[in-house]
Structure 1
Amino acid sequence: MPAHLVDRRPELGADELITALVPPPRFDAVRFETYIPNPDEPSQSAAVEACSAFAAKVGARREKKRFRLFGGTAGPSGPMGLYLDGGFGVGKTHLLASTWHAAPSPKAYGTFVELTHLVGALGFAEAVRRLSEHRILAIDEFELDDPGDTTLVTRLLQEVMDAGVYVAATSNTLPEKLGEGRFAAEDFLREIQSLSARFGVVRVDGPDYRHRGLPEAPPPVPPASLEESAAAHEGSTVDDFDAFCEHLASLHPSRYGRLLDGVTRVHLRGIHPAPDQNVALRLVAFADRLYDRAIPVVVSGDPLPSLFTDEMVNGGYRKKYLRAVSRLTALARDAAPAR
């Protein structure tokens, strides 16, 4: 019998929060060699070279310290921070994870939400101490639209970079910035103003690779077909959409990934437009964790793109909603052939 996500309440201990700071399953095997640049977008090839050079610089820093012990001054120079700037679906997370994989250990990789939860669980000083033991910290989805948490993480980065830790990051745009223009880099550097001189910006242009030449999301399935799919795939979960949205509200977003442990396919009954922005943003966070784990999605009810109303998509969180629709579309497409 299929399980229910609403029955799960995952917990993470302090040590687990540190050991869990690695790329999610979808990006566990990615490398620079597996990134396929769009031939029409030269910035993508340039980004691979820039990220590879940054990873090499992280590895060379130890040699620099050793050389200085013997009176030398030569060694790697340049910014200790790298910011990948671009729209959704251009492979920024692939490049971020590849940079992490190419850099030497010890190293840490997490989303912005995971870092804020880490600080909450360990305390600021202990989080700084633990993260300062790493050579590189990679941060995906830096939340520029949350002023309080942005300030907190900026302080955290100040401390760990002062301790010699390199930082690579991607982010979303600020709420008032619409579309995928060139606002992100400017906003990122302004929000981390005290550290902006330590970051170099690498632009990654291009269309959303997830849908190059591919059809749109498959339509919702009839309720009976959803139940058949759930019964046919071991490790499936089935939940009513409204009950599931209520359950997400009871969990910190940093636990959404652990909610999916052992799950092979997610089924949601009766989806419909999110009733408000709080629910919509939780669904965005959940969609990201689904995508990280490459878990196919089957839904009944309204089409997936209708999860977010026109008012939402045309508002301040446009980029997040479009990214979520893009990722959910890809996951629904993954499920379609095997239904």
Structure 2
Amino acid sequence: MLARLSDRNPVLAPDQLVGEMVPPRMFDDVSFDSYIPDPNEPSQAAAVAAARDFVARASKVRAGAKKKGLFRKASTPQGIGLYLDGGFGVGKTHLLASVYHSMPGPKAFATFGEVTNVVGALGYIDALERLADHSVLCIDEFELDDPGDTMVVSRLLTELVARGVSIVATSNTLPGQLGEGRFAAQDFLREIQKLSAIFETIRVDGPDYRHRDLPPAPEPATDAELEEHAASVEGSTLDTFDDLVAHLAKLHPSKYKSLVDGVNLVCIEGLRPAADQAVALRIVAFADRLYDAEIPVSVSGVKLDEVFTPEMVAGGYRKKYLRATSRLLALSRFAEADA
């Protein structure tokens, strides 16, 4: 009988939650030198230079913080911030991971969703104390989805910077525009402006490398073909779409990464458009974890680019859904290559 993700119930200890805040394995060996800027996009070379400069300045902050530990009368140097803004697939995460690899430990790397999940799982004070001795917190795909996130993240980053932790983030939304279209951003303008003040913003332009010269979404398999494919790959899982989304709803999103540990192929039977926004956002978080782990995805039912309805894509979470679609299509092509 084929394994099912819906039968897995991972349990995580607090230390494990923070310990897992590292770059996805596809970025284990990246560096500034391995980032090849597009010669037609000068902003990419400028972003590399800005990221290198950030590392140099943040390392000095870190050295000053250590010196403060020896001479208690010295004031704690404040951390600095860098914000890489740009479209999908232009190499922002590559640069973010390069910053992480270049900084001394302890250090942390997580998506914005993972940061909020860690705070939710540990509690604000515990999360703050566990991150306060870090040299840098690298946040991928920075975004604000609701007022609660705005308040928590603003407070957390402000306190971390005050304690000497430097922050580098990537996003496709400028800091001053975070939250637009999702909630009454004007009501939280003070918090949003506080966040914006932390960062120096650098724009990174270019086409999505994941879709350069690539075909559209592959045709879904039949149920029989999907089951045969799953049976042929060791370490594969096979779930119906309805069972999987029901199971995701029962798990804290901080557990999604552990949910797919050791899985080599995820097969989803009867894929259909997400029933509502809550389901769609869980799929986004799940897709991010699959992409980070480079786990191929194969489906029956509708095409992967039809999971998020046109109404959803036209709404306030548009960029989030487009990113997830981009990543799912990339993973489906991995599955096709292995079939």
TM over 0.5: yes
What displacement does 1:65 show?
5.8
> Post-superposition shift, 1:219?
1.0
The residue that corresponds to 2:110 in the other structure is 110
Mapped partners of 2:259, 2:36: distance in 1: 31
Change (3 A) 1:32 1:161: same
The equivalent of 2:321 in structure 1 is: 321
Instruction: Give 1:176 deviation, angstroms.
Output: 4.3
**Which residue of structure 2 lines up, in the alignment, with residue 61 of structure 1?**
61
- Given that 2:121 and 2:254 are in contact with CA atoms closer than 8 Å, whether structure 1 keeps it comes out as no
Structure 2 residue 335 is matched with structure 1 residue 300? no
**d(CA) in 2 for partners of 1:12, 1:328:** 26
Which residue in the other structure is 2:226 paired with? 226
- C-alpha distance in structure 2 between counterparts of 1:209 and 1:232, whole Å: 30
Aligned to 2:250: 250
TM-score if structure 1 supplies the norm length? 0.89
Q: Percent identity?
A: 59
Q: Deviations 1:188-217 (Å, cap 9, x if unpaired)?
A: 997542243331001111111101111122
* Partner residue in 2 for 1:130: 130
- The alpha-carbon deviation at position 64 of structure 1 amounts to 4.6
Number of equivalent positions: 326
For 2:25 and 2:153, locate their aligned partners in 1 and report how far apart those are by CA, in whole Å.
Answer: 25
SS at match of 1:266: strand
Question: Are the structure 2 counterparts of residues 177 and 208 from structure 1 closer, same or farther at C-alpha, using a change threshold of 3 Å?
Answer: farther
* Deviation sequence 1:31-75 (CA, Å, 0-9, x none): 22222222221111111111111112222234456789999xxxx
Superposed structure 1 runs of 4+ greater than 6 Å apart: 66-71
Q: Does structure 2 conserve the Cα–Cα contact (< 8 Å) formed by 1:226 and 1:299?
A: yes
Could you give the per-residue CA deviations for residues 130-176 of structure 1, whole angstroms, max 9, x where no partner exists? 21111111112223122211210111111111111101112354464
For residues 209 and 191 of structure 2, what CA distance do their matches in structure 1 show? 29
SS at match of 2:251: coil
Residue 36 of structure 2: aligned partner:
36
Whether contact under 8 Å (2:78, 2:163) holds in the other structure is no
Q: Secondary structure at the match of 2:238?
A: strand
Bigger shift: 55-64 or 250-259? 55-64
Partner of 2:86: 86
| Contact 1:233-1:265 within 8 A present in 2 as well | yes
Aligned-partner Cα distance in 2 for 1:323–1:123: 28
- Which residue identity is paired with 2:136? I
What is the rounded CA distance, in whole Å, between the counterparts of 1:165 and 1:121 in structure 2?
A: 21
Q: Which runs of 5+ in 1 are unaligned?
A: 72-76, 179-187
List gaps (5 residues or longer) in structure 2.
Answer: 72-76, 183-187
Partner of 1:185: none
CA contact (8 A) 2:112 2:141 kept: yes
Distance in 1 between residues matched to 2:20 and 2:337, nearest whole Å: 32
